[in-house]
Structure 1
Amino acid sequence: MPISLLALDPPDGTVYAADRSYLADIAHYSISSTEEAVCSVEPGTTEDVGTILTIVGSTSTPFGVKSGGHANNPNFSSSTGIQIAMTRLSAIDYDSSSETVAVGAGNIWDDVYAALEPYGVNVVGGRVSGIGVAGFTLGGGYSWLTNQYGLALDSVRAFELVLPNGTVTNVTQSTYPDLFWGLKGGYNNYGIVTTFTLQTYPQGLVWGGQLIILGEYIDQVNSATANFAANVTDPKAQIIATYDYEEGALLAAVILFYDAPSQPADIFDEFLAITALSTNISTQSFLSLVQVEPTTTSANMRGFSNTVPFMEITLPLLEAIVAQLEYWGTALANSSTTLVSYDVEPFLPTILTHGGASAYPWTRAQRFLPFNMDFFWTDATYDDAFYAAIVASSQNLTDTAVADGQTLVMGAPLYPNYVLFGTGVASIYGESLAEMTVLKERYDPENVMGLTGGWKILV
């Protein structure tokens, strides 16, 4: 199925399996998301992207668009057809007069933070190392700065978009209000975004790091996490409490964050009082804090993610999460080398007041917490078993939340960057779906973007 991509701006960005860059182009964080493409192509300009879309559209050739490659859903940013690797679109241009930064879609957040650090500013971006700018932002984007400024998509001021017919356009609230709304949460349904213009915010040193805590102290982690979620109102303070089960051992890895060089009294004291196996808490740059957690443990494994939209983090819910972790960690251990991981992410009730209407979340009347579940394994013959397990665990925790009084989780928007493939798009977009369908008919009548993966709006 090779197609001619030789019309690209030189040097030619097309590479095949014999080329060294091919493996990097198709590589994804989870090997279950990596597919053998016929070839990969590395556009160097926005016009290149337009050429590629014109060619794949006219030949009905499947393709994938990869920014960071961190998606765990297979075929979402990969393809057995043409792999479009956005690596060369890596410009980061800060404009102090408008207090915005134009970020190419080929960047990861580490690079953006490093480029902005000398200017004393920052953006609402990823919380751990290696996350791509494009998928994260187009899917919502929960950040260490979300309590203060909202989701990543709330800070977008413009999208440079290549429409499915190859036309390049600048999408803002004033130029294309319909597309501006649809791109905020709508992924790649309306074309390929090549540059994001983002609002910047003042940024100095931060305080925080990671605590690794043995399973014998999990009850204390649960208590500290529930108390933090229920009582802390300072928007500069955040945590991620990760519960892991690996090789028969239960661990907690808690990342603490405060957006200032030192923490106020009392906010994190309960966590700091727990006996830790290791810790790297300090005053440091924002980029250093993002990189405190190593990402190599689950790299090069197979992986699925899923989510449950909690209203609140309560002690009974945390106890149920630990019970699920131990159950599935034990039940799946004989199938393959495994890592089961659940991430608890408290945010303030006010986070959705910082931005305007967007395709995701379709309602801003109630914020829901983007709880993340990750199942990793090594043996492909057990893919179906791990899929069934993560679905079952998600349902169990949904039922637990409802029994805990969180009845609104039924029918709540599912966070698209975490939710498992095979989930209906109505569970993500809800009341936005009708207008998103209208936009699809208007801007992609030939369904060119249906040739690639992701959460697809059908016409």
Structure 2
Amino acid sequence: MHHISTILGGLSVLSGATLAYASTPVESSNFNVTAALEDLGIDVSTIPALNSFTGAQARSTDKACAAACSSLSFIFGSKVAAQNTAGYSNFTDSFWSVQQEEVQPHCIFRPTKNTDVSAAVLLSRFTGCQFAARSGGHAAFTGASSSPGGISIWFKDMNAVTLNDDKSVASIGPGNNWLSVYSALEPYGLATIGGRAASIGVGGFVLGGGISYHSNLYGWACDNVESFEVVTASGLIITVSETSYSDLYWALRGGGNNFGLVTKYNLYTIPAPTMYGGSRTFLEPYFSQAINAFINVANNASVDPHAQQYIAFLNNNGTNLASAELTYTQDVADPQIFKQYRSIPAIADVSSSKTLVEYVEYLETSNPFHLREVYWPVAVKLDEKFSNWVVKTFYSMIPQVENVAGAEPVIIFQAITEPMLKKMSDFGGNALGLDASNGAVELMHIACWWTNESDDETIYAFVNSFWETVLAEAKSQGIFNEFVYMNYASLYQDPISGYGAANKAQLKKIAKKYDPQTVYQTLQPGYFKLEGAPASF
């Protein structure tokens, strides 16, 4: 593979004129979509669906998207799937949550290279048809990565994983999930900072932050990006790094899908030795001991950064359980940092030596597909007494949903440790608004699945009222943190505001610079935008 910095030189599809103005990705006031499509070799006048297309039609979603999808089909043929075809149902049937499976796009577009993506964005602008882009499709609410009535761009075929000459950087297409990334890199003894379950997609994970087994050692995924290849709103393809478009590089590290479609993630590689870990499960009399162990492991993250953990509390067939997922990034069965956990009597322990590939496959089994899902996080200062109180409050409120078919609420505690927080200032910093000045942050989130759409409001109301109770107490104790982790956020949350007013203002300024016509806000309205939550309660 060529060095990452030579990516732009390979875009032979683009004419010289496009490359000449690719050096200035800030869209001019006289930008012409038709001319930009011509630069891609697409003559609008030869596309039947666009010959008689008018501005009035652009104001009709159905007509706009019929024209856009017909145009994509005319240009790209079999890369486009219409409704009631196998290619279409392959897309809708393969989402993690039922809420995403239910969305009915006008068509599915499967690009194979970056200029295909440019064409899709420009045709969306030409027609006014909305679009969404899907990497792994692991979000838990409608429209996050599929466009109702619009174009759903499925990155599935952009799935290359290649290494640069010295193997320090892996170039990863957005069609990959973490199983495919780790599987490609494992023969080289390498990995990247990535997800902890097999089917999670690369794209949303990196752009939203990205907590990894290796994050105490190296930081979050967004803090381990050498560069991004990005399709801007004007269809230009630029390579964004700490030294090239550094403001956009900062924004993409936590800012989600608000700035462009990323067609390549160039991530620093790390060694991938065999790991050791698995879940250790405790009964209720030992909950306070388990929470004490959780707090101590979090606070000792800088002493032994090989340890990674989270602890989940749930009710299983009438029995309250705590399940601690204890991972060590070396093949050590009983590291000192986990001894406290191991001294607590457990009813089950499935710890074993695992490669990274084996680990994400093992964890995948705890995230079943084809159920209604919600994730909903909050953040507070790491605090043992408060953590115990939250668990008691959680169990006191579970009866509110005990009659909901298939409902299985779980509360999960993780620590955003001081080593992680310190890494967030690397390479010019990220957009998340977190720092190490107040010590470790405790990330708490509810995960719940259930069976019937008719119970959606009951579940959402339960989680909302629970967090209202918890956050009121956190604020009264002075330990509330406004951070909202995008990768777990619910449709009723606003992660961008959770990054703080200054960072939100900066993100909006950067978006306006690179996307003055707000294409990625208005034509790609799904997921977490710069202004407000996807839905209001």
TM range (shorter): over 0.9
Say if 1:213 and 1:278, in contact at 8 Å, map to a contact too. Answer: yes
1:5 deviates by 4.0
Match of 2:239 among 154, 170, 185: 170
User: Residues 57, 327 of structure 1: CA spacing in aligned structure 2 closer, same or farther, 3 A cutoff?
Assistant: farther
Q: Does 2:181 match 1:112?
A: yes
User: Which residue pairs with 1:388 in the alignment?
Assistant: 461
Counterparts of 1:297 and 1:250 in 2: how far apart (Å)? 20
1:394 deviates by 1.8
Match of 2:480 among 403, 409, 426: 409
Q: Does 2:101 match 1:28?
A: no
1:352 deviates by 2.3
SS class of match (1:268): helix
Q: Does 2:147 match 1:79?
A: yes
Counterparts of 2:507 and 2:223 in 1: how far apart (Å)? 18
SS class of match (2:418): coil
Counterparts of 2:124 and 2:76 in 1: how far apart (Å)? 19
SS class of match (1:93): strand
SS class of match (2:166): coil
TM, length-normalised to structure 1: 0.92
Q: Does 2:339 match 1:269?
A: yes
User: Which residue pairs with 2:159 in the alignment?
Assistant: 90
Counterparts of 2:284 and 2:357 in 1: how far apart (Å)? 29
Within-5 A mapping of 1:122-133: 122-133=191-202
SS class of match (1:144): coil
User: Which residue pairs with 1:17 in the alignment?
Assistant: 83
Counterparts of 2:370 and 2:343 in 1: how far apart (Å)? 35
Name the one with the larger helix percent: 2
User: Which residue pairs with 2:507 in the alignment?
Assistant: 436
Q: Does 2:216 match 1:147?
A: yes
Count of equivalent residues: 455
1:444 deviates by 1.3
Q: Does 2:72 match 1:6?
A: yes
1:134 deviates by 0.4
SS class of match (2:70): coil
Aligned-pair RMSD on alpha carbons?
Answer: 2.3
TM, length-normalised to structure 2: 0.79
Say if 1:280 and 1:292, in contact at 8 Å, map to a contact too. Answer: no
Amino acid in structure 2 at the alignment position of 1:168: I
Within-5 A mapping of 1:308-319: 308-314=378-384, 316-319=385-388
1:108 deviates by 0.5
User: Residues 446, 21 of structure 1: CA spacing in aligned structure 2 closer, same or farther, 3 A cutoff?
Assistant: same
Counterparts of 1:71 and 1:183 in 2: how far apart (Å)? 18
1:205 deviates by 1.0
User: Which residue pairs with 1:51 in the alignment?
Assistant: 119
User: Residues 139, 419 of structure 1: CA spacing in aligned structure 2 closer, same or farther, 3 A cutoff?
Assistant: same
Q: Which has the higher contact order (CA 8 A, sep 6+)?
A: 1
User: Which residue pairs with 2:253 in the alignment?
Assistant: 184
Larger Rg: 2
Match of 1:66 among 134, 147, 158: 134
Say if 1:313 and 1:346, in contact at 8 Å, map to a contact too. Answer: no
1:347 deviates by 4.0
Say if 1:413 and 1:430, in contact at 8 Å, map to a contact too. Answer: no
1:325 deviates by 3.0
Counterparts of 2:387 and 2:512 in 1: how far apart (Å)? 44
SS class of match (2:363): coil
Q: Which moved more, 1:279-288 or 1:420-429?
A: 420-429
Per-residue CA deviations over 1:65-124 (Å, capped at 9, x if unaligned) read 111111113222122122111101100002251500000001111111111111111111
Q: Does 2:431 match 1:360?
A: yes
Match of 1:280 among 350, 373, 386: 350
Amino acid in structure 1 at the alignment position of 2:491: F
Counterparts of 1:303 and 1:107 in 2: how far apart (Å)? 22
Q: Which moved more, 1:4-13 or 1:418-427?
A: 4-13
Per-residue CA deviations over 1:115-147 (Å, capped at 9, x if unaligned) read 111111111111222111000000011111111
Say if 1:137 and 1:153, in contact at 8 Å, map to a contact too. Answer: yes
SS class of match (1:293): helix
**Structure 1 vs Structure 2: percent identity of aligned residues?**
27
1:41 deviates by 1.2
User: Which residue pairs with 1:369 in the alignment?
Assistant: 442
Say if 2:333 and 2:352, in contact at 8 Å, map to a contact too. Answer: no
Say if 1:8 and 1:43, in contact at 8 Å, map to a contact too. Answer: no
User: Residues 223, 167 of structure 1: CA spacing in aligned structure 2 closer, same or farther, 3 A cutoff?
Assistant: same
